[in-house]
Structure 1
């Protein structure tokens, strides 16, 4: 309060403690997080959105927010961190949101629609015209069945004799070697048959990349145009073999499917490694 004498004009100011109210500064409850949506829509293929996510929330809440932004069911959302060198990890629903998106930019993938039941083509025959045999038996080539697979058969032939079903593949294309390895093009998501050959897998990977490559790449008889490495998980340096008649039936693919975090459909993250000479030709 302030009081002024009318005679000497002296002013007296008094500060009463009970008139001073201390207000706590509100704590921040949310943080900004940018997420790039990879959708199965021609008009909205890649959409980057900014979200205010709760600091003490879980990835399940983030999945719900992303699903609302993309107008897709939450169970179809796959969340993964993608660095300039490729995939880092997938995010599970039980994880806390505190560290989500800090290691690398965050992407949300919508899987392609599943093919209707009954339209899956039969698995191709093995090399030499052999038909898939029961587990633990060799392929039938006109002779008697033995108790061991033929010498040219891979472990994938024994583990998946029917090679049925389709799996989700998250793909990152990279070029260079060692510390110069760098990602090019957007990350992609495919739904592929497990029984495809290496050449068929190459065709599926090349199809969305033709606009990014300088020249037309001929797959027929070209051999292995790139290397395919499993990203993330417990075996980050596992490569699929071009000599394997069914590379997606490799045991490492099964382990990757089992290790894919809860939340979203099971998937496998693959890094496609190109040599600079192949990419630029």
Structure 2
């Protein structure tokens, strides 16, 4: 419940430009120059900040620059401090998928060969976020934001659909691209009902970036090997299918905390916890 409240509050805070929703216009104030940590479309009528993936693409595909120290530094700082905690607690599109997965239905567990699909998000990051904007430029030396334009369902949900619905002039411009993006959003919605966070698992380039820092981030998990019995309860509780007792800081871990709550021995804990061993051999963890 705490995580859900934090997710909701952060989503409202980063998309709180209420005026934009009923006027059908995006916020263009100075705050828009600042990146938010999660995936949140720049074109959302309520968005106060910029999406880091969109900002990265805008710089790579611009006429003057191909590298941004600000955006790259921001992503590295967020990754080093939080890792994929951002995915689990601060990303609005992560909350959207979480709520969809709450809809009663038969759930599908990702296992076997399907688990290898997790590497797809790194390919999306390399090809659509970096290589295509860097190489596929027009005669003016400008390239399109390929991930945002052709793939991102968050942009369709938060920006594309609201702006089209609220602007009559935009309705006449709807073409194959809008239909394609809407189809991808529908696929994401349906798959999110039966699979826990499919977009985060398989597609999200921002999650791919943060996952690279999970093992070294300041916010991390640890396992008390003396208390752990390798019972596997934490693995059963983990919706991402991670063996927390083996790899507590897996690149796929979104830091939801389900493994901590489920462990009957209290063997999994956050790294910011002080561990004290009593004279009776019992391990106490004090925040």
TM tier relative to shorter chain:
under 0.3
Which structure has the highest helix share of the two?
2
Q: Which has the higher contact order (CA 8 A, sep 6+)?
A: 2
Which one has the largest radius of gyration? 1
Which structure has the highest strand share of the two?
1
TM-score, length-normalised on structure 1? 0.26
